[in-house]
Chain A
């Protein structure tokens, strides 16, 4: 059965800390892995990863995919209270025919 596992499920840090969020997956016919940040309403798209070993960066956020070991990490450096959110990992398979979402990691950044 296809599945996406995220860890930790919950994380509390202080401003300025660096965090690493993990996403591992077991799917057939992997196509891409997506990271989202979810706050109040709709998840905000962060990254789409399709190739192993190529880091994607956006400000203080970065992410990388390892297709051999079937996982991805999302790094956030110098965290701010505004980074507090649920971070979702989703895997696209079968050339866009199916998406599997992980349970999310709830990140709380304290001042």
Chain B
């Protein structure tokens, strides 16, 4: 049973480009969470999604950031017009319906040059 998969593991973008981060939840999990970890800081919640539905996006910046979890395929965190301050590790976690445990992926390290 494969765990949560994230790709790419490392992503380098120049300022102004778009970054797309993918997260495939564990088999049977219908909920996905995205977090951002800045250097020397803890995880910061960004968004919580169910298939085809955003449950809670209170941690998501209002501009340039968006997330989706389509019926088929991975969840996507999209950052448009990246800036240096977007450089961070982005983690995805998944949980089953009704479950509290979150299973974390290995993260995507985004570097904006």
Q: List residues of A whose CB falls within 8 A of some B CB.
A: 34, 36, 38, 40-45, 48, 86, 88, 90, 96-101, 103-104, 106
Give Cα distance in the complex from A38 to B110, angstroms: 24
User: Could you say which interface size class chain B belongs to?
Assistant: 20 to 34
A36 touches which one: B9, B33, B43 (CB < 8 A)?
A: B43
Chain B residue nearest to A102 in the complex (CB): B104
Contacts of B30 in A (CB 8 A): none
The listed residue with most B CB atoms (<10 A of its CB), out of A42, A86, A88, A100, is A42
Q: Name the prevailing secondary structure of the A interface residues.
A: strand
Contacts of B103 in A (CB 8 A): 103
Contacts of B69 in A (CB 8 A): none
Chain B stretch 43-65: residues in CB contact (< 8 A) with chain A? 43-45, 48, 56, 59
Residues B59 and A99 in contact, CB atoms below 8 Å apart: no
CB proximity of A102 to chain B, nearest CB, Å: 9
